[in-house]
Structure 1
Amino acid sequence: MQTETQHSIKSHSAQFASLGNPPHRRRLADVLPQSLPPRGVCREEAAAYVGVSASLFDILVKDGRMPPPKRINARKVWDRNRLDAAFASLPDDGEVNTRAMKSDPWANLAA
């Protein structure tokens, strides 16, 4: 049998659960209207934005094909506009990646 305190706690928990997350616990993306995408995105969102896995995104950042993150206190945040520019500069299928050729002296010999 439940005590009055246990019943009260369950009742309050159910009320808060029905309200969703309190404003201070909502994801930032949930705060913005859908017509206004966030300017800064986390690593996983940045990877998804350009259509690759997070591990491949790390490689793209390391080799310079994707921009490094901005640092906001302890957080790493990628600028969506810089991601757009980096994505636009990637070679199209069948194009030669001149950036890779400059960093790889053996690339010309393989052709």
Structure 2
Amino acid sequence: MPLRPDPISYPPRGMSREEAARYVGVGTTKFEQMVADGRMPRPKRVDGRVIRDRLRLDAAFSDLPEEARVNPLDRMLGA
């Protein structure tokens, strides 16, 4: 039975590795490195399928450090 179009548009809760990597803005190799070092969450397994949880990805992405900015005054003072 084919899926009918859903009148409500919403992002998927579960994602493949490729979708999850694209969602957080990195390639699959970098994404797997981030999973291995704990910056991104491990996936869930449903039977033979490996699924990444969008809400856990959001939380992990929010926990990533901000880019360090150099204070212009420190730069002028040579600090």
TM-score in terms of structure 2 length: 0.77
Corresponding position of 2:72 = none
Deviation at 1:33, TM superposition (A): 5.4
Letter in 1 for 2:28: A
SS in structure 2 of the partner of residue 48 of structure 1: helix
Q: Contact between 1:61 and 1:67, CA under 8 Å: does it hold in 2?
A: yes
Higher relative contact order (CA 8 A, sep 6+): 2
1:1-111 pair list within 5 angstroms:
23=2, 32=6, 35-94=9-68
> Share of identical aligned residues, percent?
54
TM-superposed deviation, 1:35: 2.2
Q: RMSD of the alignment, in Å? A: 2.2
Aligned partners of 1:61, 1:77: CA distance in 2, in Å? 13
Amino acid at match of 1:77: I
Unaligned runs of 5+ in 2: 70-79
The answer for unaligned runs of 5 or more in structure 1 is: 1-21, 25-29, 96-111
Q: Find the aligned partners of 1:81 and 1:91 in 2 and give their Cα distance.
A: 18
Q: TM-score, normalised by structure 1?
A: 0.56
Question: SS of the residue aligned with 1:36?
Answer: coil
